[in-house]
Structure 1
Amino acid sequence: MPQNAAGADAVGIDFAFVSRPIEGLSLSINGNFNNAQFTAPLAALNIEKGDRLDNSVRESYGADITYRAPFSFGESGGNLEWMFNTNYQHSSAREIRSFGTLGFADSLDIMTARVGIESEKWGIYLFGNNILDEKGAAGGTSAEALIRLAPPSIGVNGRITF
């Protein structure tokens, strides 16, 4: 449930860097550090001046690695590529208030990976989601209704382009 406040202020820094050191390899990092707070009290919700804004992380950062290279089954293998991608994201714990009750959503460390073979018209991939088995609360609209991450999963997916 969205809640209005008498005043709020946020200051921070965002950053992102991407590098392609060799053909086919892409490396990236990103992040955010901020201070987001209420600038006036809100007695109905037990909010004091200087309290952190609801459901706002103090820091978040991540990294991504992608590699692509040609792949063939001999001379008649066609125009294929194999690819690998892994992604890591971190976000700090955050406070969630609901009608004056203070709850906390956990810090999160989420990692995914994907490897596959593809052409312009199709692709087949092996993937892993939440491979670090993160069990923290991913968010929610109140302290009582936190959303949890799905458990780790490994699977196969495909793509066909018409």
Structure 2
Amino acid sequence: MDAIDFFIKILASLAGIAAPVIAWFVFNLNRQKRDDTWFRAFDELHDKFWNDPDFISVRAWIANDAAYERIEEIFKLRQNGRGNITTDQYTQLERFDRFLNFLLRANAVGERLRDRRTLWANLNFGYWVTEMKSSARPKLRDYFIEHYVKRGVILPGYSQDGSRNGGLSDSPES
């Protein structure tokens, strides 16, 4: 009996040691899965932002004066009513709408990822929001305020009435 009791005590001691070790491995495995999921989401958003042909066009409208001048009239016509634009012009507006919806989604993801705020800020989504609000792009800005902000869809940097109130920052501190 002494050998059996000794063997049971050894197994109990090993189980006491094994439980925390197993818990540590499970914890690390779960953390790795979360990281993998986050990096996959980050990669998908980053890839779409920089490689989607529609987003390339919209970024040009926001960042390039000549590209904005080519599209400005469409935003002006749309502000005057739905019937004032052609199907091709509507397609151009659809590109901008897709870009805005992407920024809204990216902002929502960024809000959930506080522990990776620096990496997220380095995507520079805030730059595009700031430029979109610029007085250099009044028709684009007015379209966003009229069709998004006043309807309750708010990107950082806008309040419900369309006024500016800060915004997505290019730095992780804000």
TM-score (norm 2): 0.22
TM-score by length of 1: 0.23
Compare the two structures and name the one with the higher strand fraction. 1
User: Which of 1 and 2 has greater Rg?
Assistant: 2
More helix per residue: 1 or 2? 2
